[in-house]
A and B are shown apart, each in its own frame.
Chain A
Amino acid sequence: MEHGYNYAYVLIAVAVMAIVTYIPRFLPLTFMRRKIQNRFIKSFLYYVPYAVLAAMTLPGILYSTSSMISAATGMIAAVFLAYKDKGLLVVALGAVFVVFVTEQLMAFL
């Protein structure tokens, strides 16, 4: 594809992206200094990270490799290792390893 970019436009667009990405990140963290007392909100915030990560994992994980079969085997490996409380790096690399091996095997089928 041939593109003749206008660099002023590209750089301003990048700056716009950077600013609108930073705004939701810094507003609460910078200005929210008191402890939230409301029990519902406290509980809600306690559960947020788990909900966010679960929502990002499924179904995303199934499309994270070149085939859904290798992704599913990798996911099973990761769930197993995580359930055994194996730590971040072991779980992540274990899943990578299982995907790699699965794809090598699939290449022979």
Chain B
Amino acid sequence: MSSDVTSAYLRGLQNGLPICLGYLSVSFTFGMMCTENDLPFWIAVLISMTNLTSAGQFAGTGLIISGGSLFEIGITTFVINIRYLLMSLSLSQKIDPNLPVPQRLVMSFGVTDEIFGVSMQHKGKIPFAYFFGLMTAPFWGWALGTLIGATAVSLLPDMVRSALGIAIYGMFLAVIIPPARTEHSLAWVIVIAAVISCLFYYMPVLNRLSSGWVIIICAVAASSFAALKWPVKDEEEEA
């Protein structure tokens, strides 16, 4: 391994630590939910390690517990996760066009809201080693949190568990706020998306839409508006 690759990997690993922390607390809840419904701990961990997603796997597992049909499970999970199409497409523009397929397949597995959000902060092209480093800690955090939640349901005091719940959102804010201080278009995107998201949460009828669709609607509406009003300049090609 060249020192460039190593340092990119380590940088990714470091940036992934806050995501890992947030994931530990969320997956802990997932593990608990499985155990409370008599699913063996190894199935809970298997789900976390093969799905590596929050909303989709909670919903899918809920359907398994209630004995839903495979079709229903597949459609529900897919709809919630359709937003990854958008992220995967954004990411495809930020990597080396010659990156081989195996690396692309590995990166794809790590496309979560949080890993994607942090990776897009990378200046210029995202090296594979960086992205791989970035997804490492969150992956293990997600698996480990599930295992702990499923096996030792009452290990963490409630107060700590409750406080950890906010970690992931703190990280989101740390990603979106600093660049929005100087770029007003970004501030508007954030406000518009947040307002639409709240509308879909609080308004009757609208709040029946699944969270996956809500995120897609927010992303498409806010980003299209900003793209029309403040098209990005062409010079941010390569850094």
Contacts and interface: CB of A to CB of B under 8 A. Distances in A.
Given A36-B93, A50-B180, A3 B227 contact: no
Interface centre among A17, A28, A48, A50 (most CB of B within 10 A): A50
B107 A29 contact: yes
Interface in A33-61: 33-36, 39-61
Nearest to A52: B219
| Main SS class of interface, B | helix
A10 B165 CA distance: 28
A83 B186 contact: no
A99 to B, nearest CB: 4
B167 A47 contact: no
A29 B104 contact: yes
A24 B160 contact: no
Contacts of A12: 70
Contacts of B168: 64, 92
Contacts of B37: 1, 3
Interface residues of B, number: 106
Given A52-B113, A56-B113, A96-B164, A20 B176 contact: no
A9 B43 CA distance: 12
Interface stretch (B3-11, B47-55, B144-152): B47-55
Contacts of A64: 165-166, 168-169
A80 B88 CA distance: 31
A79 B166 contact: no
A52 B51 contact: no
Interface string A1-41: 11101000111111111111111111111101111100111
Contacts of B196: 55
B222 interface: yes
B159 interface: yes
B85 A88 contact: no
Contacts of A48: 86-87, 90, 219, 223
A83 to B, nearest CB: 6
Contact of B215 (A17, A24, A56, A66): A56
Given A55-B194, A61-B169, A14 B226 contact: no
A83 B175 CA distance: 10
B206 interface: no
Contact of B178 (A28, A65, A67, A82): A82
B171 A88 contact: yes
Contacts of A109: none
A42 B43 contact: no
Nearest to B50: A18
Contacts of B73: 13, 16-17
Interface of A: 1-3, 5, 9-30, 32-36, 39-61, 64-67, 70-71, 74-75, 78-79, 81-83, 85-97, 99-100, 103-104
22 contacts: A3-B37, A17-B50, A17-B77, A24-B81, A24-B82, A25-B84, A25-B88, A25-B108, A25-B109, A26-B88, A40-B228, A46-B227, A47-B186, A47-B223, A52-B83, A53-B113, A54-B176, A64-B168, A71-B166, A74-B170, A81-B170, A89-B17
Given A5-B39, A55-B196, 5 more contacts: A3-B38, A21-B52, A21-B57, A64-B168, A65-B165
